[in-house]
Structure 1
Amino acid sequence: MNNTVVKQQKLIGERALFQSHHIQIEDSVFEDGESPLKESQNIDIKDTIFKWKYPLWYCQNVSVNNSTLLETARSGIWYTHHIDIKDSVIDAPKTFRRSTYISLDHVNLLNSQETLWNCQNIKINAVQAKGDYFGMNSENIEINDLRLSANYCFDGGKNIVVRNSKLISKDAFWNCENITIYDSVIIGEYLAWNTKNITFINCTIESLQGLCYIEGLKMINCKLINTNLAFEFCKDIDVEINSHIDSITHPLSGTIRAKSIGEIIMDEKDNSDVNIIVEEE
């Protein structure tokens, strides 16, 4: 089936291209009017600008290249499935809600507040994002080269793999399950509280009271810099830290290895089954 081509058009009014099928949109502007492509399928969008709310709701099979969603295109992509976005800028908050099979490649999310909520099957590559509450309650996420400045990111997430990334985020990865992070830097207070099964490999972490209330914490060849009061009430931990740890407090079970530890805070009444090994050079 040949695609209908919409080229160099200014589209106005609510539901301007409602229920479009097999359509190619190029060099165009959606000027105003809510939900211009609602309930559309098999859409190819190139070099196009969205200026108003809810541009891609209830859509299927969408490709977006070299395009822009302005700040006013907020809450832009909800209940949409199978969408690939490349080489684009999204300046709108609350993008992606209850959507599945999302691919973001070389995308700049300038205002990612409350973005990627309750979504599944997400691939993120070479993405920059700034905005709090990124990725809440989302599952099955593969991340490479994410540069994120966003407090409370990935709260309630499940089955997430992160590689080669830098995350600046207070309260990152709270209430999560099955997280693996490789070759990354994480900066922010209270990292990963109330999480189950989280692994850090070749990571550098800076965190006040980070890594507490975790069940199943594994760390391989990691550094903890300016990190104190770590591991409080953690169970089943296997931690290999190739640096100094400022302080640890009240871990419950497992093994902690470090080059040196500034302070170990334990009470006589602690029911702790932890083996602490200091390997000073």
Structure 2
Amino acid sequence: MINFNGELLTQTPTALENNRAFLYGDAVFETVRVLDGRVIFAEDHYFRLMASMRVLRMEIPMNFTMEYMEEQIIALTATLGSAAARARLTFYRNSGGFYLPTDNNTQFIITAQPLDQNLYVLNQAPYEVDLYKDFHVSRQLLSTLKSTNRLIQVTGSIYAHENGLNNCLVLNDAKNVAEALQGNLFMFMGNVLTTPPLTDGCLNGIMRKQVLALAQKIEGIEVKEASISPFELQKADELFITNVINGIQPVTKYRKKEFKNTIATELVKRLNAKIRFS
């Protein structure tokens, strides 16, 4: 079952041959976590979606308020019979034109799947990463958007699978580490927690924003947004990857270096406390 423009349907009614999301990647999306009839971090997701649509010159439907977005997502996830769910909301431009659209109005579709865990759980299983060097992200505004053009993530995930890795770290055009394939990267070294700035081309992640705010409240830790060189990774005490579905994923190994997860553990506790009482 899906939600198509506010109507629950059993199948997608649009034809792929005319769909601009399929033809040109002309779409943006939000992947959200739902718990007990609430969209977690709904305001952040909504405003990121609105900002992305404005950057891409998409017309935002007048009725698409934050409240409406939440209602549509909850109506769909309620059919799953699960307290926790993952939902994806995709907005795409109407059919017409080639690279130049003939219509900037939009439609949306929501899909959802149940999740096994209600709250975030720290995965302490071995989690190995390496650099993905075949392609890089550009230091530009488009790289920070959650668009449907995710070919670096697709080809990088194939590379990781073929090489027995759990994830890969992606470089930008300045050869600094911008992000991971499936989330934002944080590095803890000494007493400093660092994540790449948006100007380095990383995704403007919802969980990235939450972790930055939570970490600033931990006594004795300096939090900063700064470029990360690949050479710094092996000097770090901890590396972890963040996204809104998995929360905080500690990296246990990068090449020959193995890492602790002390800060990641503390941040997961604080993250779950925020979700419970928000």
Instruction: Considering fraction of residues, name the structure with more helix.
Output: 2
TM-score (norm 1): 0.22
Structure with larger Rg: 1
Relative contact order, higher structure (CA 8 A, sep 6+)? 2
TM-score (norm 2): 0.22
